Amino acid sequence: MPISCRVTRGDFTESIHVAFAVIVDGEGQIVFSTGDPHYLTCIRSSLKPFQAAASVKAGAVDAAGFDEKELALMCASHKGEDIHVDTALSMINKLDLNIDDFECGSHYPSDTITRHKMIRENEVATALHNNCSGKHAGMLALAKHLGAETKGYINEEHPVQRIILEYVAELSGESDIPTETDGCSAPTPFMTLKKIAEIFQSLASCKRPELKKVYDAMVAYPELVGGTNHFDSMFISALDGRGVTKVGGESVRGISLNTEKYGPIGVSIKILDGSFRAMPLAVMKLLEHLELLSEHEKNKLHKFRTKKLTNHNGIQVGHIEAHVDF
């Protein structure tokens, strides 16, 4: 049975968000699953740590002179706060490129304070504010390192994307991975939940030097991976070096976690209806159910265990709570 995130109104269940989850160990064996472990889904931005790792392995990150902070932003779906925009600008300056070289498009920050400030000051959003700007700066670095044209780097036939997809195929052991176009216009693979869990297990084990470098950057700068009050950042911070996580569009997530019980594990979770509001609750319920979080970690992430629902008068009308049903 899957994880169910039940939305209540008063004493009644009004809606249910359903989640599938898979956990694999270092042998690629499923140690726990709920729902269909072979469910095919789009990995979306959960791929970012591995796109970054491909650039690290190719030598592009060192060649560009990117520091650990900038590598962390390559793994980010950030909120467009000043720290994110300034870091993306630093990266593009190191490449001797400009904002027009980004091919990710622009949108206003998801961070409410930053967005409202920009609107008040009539500031126009640029590609630097795009939540994928770090990833795209990394792709531009890879293009320059390869001596390839930077124009068109988002196209699947471009050398940048070929190297990234070949790396993902190598990690996953899959030679024929279907892709479609992501929200930032780069190719994004479709993979089974088990395969997503497997590649996140490889990130947890840090056996490859490029993956260790990515893992360490995410641990060192969790605020770059998401932002203020972002679950990804708060989870990485709470785990204090024991794990990292990365969410993707339509509510998919990978987690790399080092445990006493199973060793380094990979976790994948998908909310079937794409609801983001259910994801943190499903993560917390799954990891608590399997006793994979310490009391200290649970206390740090307590706000994500349930979600209160209030109306426009601030009156609580219900809540959302996750359940593991067997």
Number of structural domains (the chain) is 1
Q: Using CA atoms, how far apart are residues 156 and 186, in angstroms rounded to an integer? A: 7
CATH of the domain at 311: 3.40.710
Q: What is the pLDDT of residues 35-84, one digit of tens each?
A: 999 999 999 999 999 999 999 999 999 999 999 999 999 999 999 999 99
Q: What is the pLDDT of residues 265-283, one digit of tens each?
A: 999 999 999 999 999 999 9
Q: What is the pLDDT of residues 171-204, one digit of tens each?
A: 999 989 999 999 999 999 999 999 999 999 999 9
Residue 325: pLDDT band by 50, 70, 90 thresholds?
confident
**Residue 48 domain boundaries:** 3-324
Q: What is the pLDDT of residues 75-118, one digit of tens each?
A: 999 999 999 999 999 999 999 999 999 999 999 999 999 999 99
Q: What is the pLDDT of residue 326?
A: 60
Alpha helix locations (H) across the chain? 48-58, 60-64, 68-74, 82-94, 112-120, 133-146, 159-172, 193-205, 209-220, 222-225, 231-239, 279-289, 295-300
> Which of 309, 319, 318, 287 has its CA nearest to residue 19?
287
* pLDDT at position 13 over 70: yes
